[in-house]
Amino acid sequence: MEVQLTNRQQHILWATVRHYIATAEPVGSKALVDEYDLGVSSATIRNVMGVLEKSGLLYQPHASAGRVPSDSGYRIYVDQLITPSLRSRSVSQTDATRSLLSRSRSVPQGSGTETLGREVEMALQKRLQWEDWSLETLLQGAAQILATLSGCISLITMPQTTTALVRHLQLVQIEAGRIMLIVVTDGYETHSKLMDLSPLPEETQRDPEVIDRELQIVSNFLNSHLRGRSLLELAYLDWSQLDQEFQRYGEFLKNSVAELTRRTLAPTATQIMVRGVSEVLRQPEFSQLQQVQTIIHLLEEEQDQLWRLIFEEPEAEDVGKPKVTVRIGAENPLEPIRTCTLISSTYRRGSIAVGSVGVLGPTRLDYEGAIAIVASAADYLSEAFSYFNP
């Protein structure tokens, strides 16, 4: 969403979101004057809040109330007004969080100098023992810790049991300007993709035999680097090892192979471990019984739909770059959670995503903390999975 805000508008939107997250009460100008050092009068704050409301970033639940953030307001807050991975935070947000972290670390409580992400890593490392537990038990324990620290419903998928790896790869010229990429996986499944190879501007009609020889050289190069590995790793090949005349094949393949990669590596839905449901459903946002029932039904009976949402298949250019995805309110395609926020990331084996970790809660969420918690948990589980699957 492209909304240009002045510095003052950003500060007041930031303060409004923070105050609403903390209190669950509509926010008025007096509350912001009392609680935040904004350096402006109550009248100025009211005027700015009115502008933010007209921009769709705030709204009034009813005429006499203060204002609350809309989904769009939360989106601006997340994208522009916070830095989850860098912000140094005190970890004493809740009694449960403070208790868990204090039992899990050796540094003096209240130091406040470490990021929340580092605190999460320490809690996981201290309370979970890789050597003594099965992978499933480890994931169950991580899910419980994630729910406790975030105050949200935690979601961790069981890992993919198999990952398709390249057994053989071949580039074949079908006709002038048309090339087929054929991939045989380690399970002896064959996948193919027909692609157009555009000539360079200075090229005239090329000898098909010359192209065949080039394609064989490129095929040999790909097989030597990708055999036994994921096709996604094509994005990271060092094409400078080939002569300059072959460089264009690198960009051509990276830009053309995404669809084949998704088909070759299509994951299968696995069980989702769910923790923290009873705690989060006590939030005021979940006071309607029917809404609670639809969410529970999704978590218990329609996990395959939820799994497809939180386990995103990475594009080729995103290999090795796990990211945290934040879906706010109506951005969620599943009707039961269109009033919720879903924050998720993937955990990996090497560069391959094998599972996902996430939290589900109300849109009135501590985004800095939740994003840092999910990112740190994903990193931790990636390290743990490499221990169980060296």
Grade residue 388 by pLDDT with cuts at 50, 70 and 90: low
> Between residues 41 and 240, which one has the greater pLDDT?
41
Contact 308, 290 (CB under 8 A): no
Quick one: pLDDT at residue 209? 86
CB of 230 within 8 A of CB of 265?
yes
Quote the percentage of the chain above a pLDDT of 90: 38
Lowest mean pLDDT, pick from 117-121, 200-204, 221-225, 289-293: 200-204
Q: What is the pLDDT of residue 95?
A: 42
Percentage of the chain lying above the pLDDT 70 cut: 75
Report the alpha-carbon distance of residue 156 to residue 270 in Å, rounded.
10
- Residue with tokens 């080729």, as numbered in its chain: 316
Helix (H, G, I), strand (E, B) or coil at 352: strand
Complete edge-to-edge strand list for the sheet that includes strand 178-185: 166-175, 178-185, 190-196
Mean pLDDT of 159-178: 82
Q: 42 or 322: which carries more pLDDT confidence?
A: 42
Higher local confidence (pLDDT), 91 or 350: 350
Contact (CB, 8 A) for 123 and 104 = yes
Q: What is the DSSP string of 77-119?
A: IIIII--TTT-B--S-SSHHHHHHHHHH--SPTT---SBHHHH
Higher pLDDT, 342 or 261: 342
Lookup: tokens for 296: 């529970």
DSSP state at residue 27: B
Assign 3-class secondary structure to 32-81: HHHHCCCCCCHHHHHHHHHHHHHCCCEECCCCCCCEEECHHHHHHHHHHH
User: Beta strands 178-185 and 166-175: pairing type?
Assistant: antiparallel
Q: Alpha-carbon distance 130 to 183, whole Å?
A: 36
Instruction: Select the more confidently predicted residue: 216 or 318.
Output: 216
Structure tokens given for 34 = 């009392």
pLDDT tens, residue by residue, 181-239: 898 888 788 888 888 876 655 555 667 888 888 899 989 988 988 888 876 676 667 77
The whole-chain average pLDDT of the chain stands at 80
Among 29-33, 83-87, 157-161, 227-231, top mean pLDDT goes to: 29-33
Task: Quote the pLDDT of residue 110.
Answer: 35
Tell whether the model's pLDDT for residue 259 goes beyond 60. yes
Q: How many CB atoms lie within 10 A of CB 134?
A: 9
